[in-house]
Amino acid sequence: MPYKETDTIKLYYTIGEVSEMFQVNTSLVRFWEKEFDILKPKKNKKGNRLFTPEDLDNFKIIHNLVKEQGLTLEGAKKYLKENKKTVKHELKAEKSQFSEIENKLRNIRSVLIKIKEEL
């Protein structure tokens, strides 16, 4: 029987993983945590930050506003405060679109695996 990959969904991500995902320094992650109230990572007994998927979503929003759209930190804070519902809605729509693409890719992968097995 062929190996079947399973999806792994993590409950927590380290600061190193977050910095790697967004290609930023860990110091920037710490700084934004202090600056933005919506970033609230848990901390273990050693004081290591543990980011939830919701924290990642919020970090993605902040990253987009500051790094991609060029807003200042104050501008990003103001935007988040004024457009809280809109930002969350856009994020959900983006996730939905991503899930759709992911499902299509999984279907293509399964077809390719079947073709490979028939060779």
Q: Residue 1's pLDDT is what?
A: 41
For residue 64, give the nearest of 40, 101, 42, 94 by alpha carbon: 94
Q: Using one digit for the tens of pLDDT, what is the confidence trace for 13-53?
A: 999 999 999 999 999 999 999 999 889 999 999 999 999 98
Question: What distance in Å separates the CA atoms of residue 73 and residue 61, rounded to the nearest whole number?
Answer: 12
Q: What is the pTM of this model?
A: 0.65
- Domain range list for the chain: 1-82, 83-119
Question: What distance in Å separates the CA atoms of residue 11 and residue 94, rounded to the nearest whole number?
Answer: 20
Which CATH number fits the domain 1-82, given the four candidates 3.90.1180.10, 3.40.1180.10, 3.90.950.20, 1.10.1660.10? 1.10.1660.10
Residue count of the chain, please give it: 119
- The overall average pLDDT reported for the chain is 83
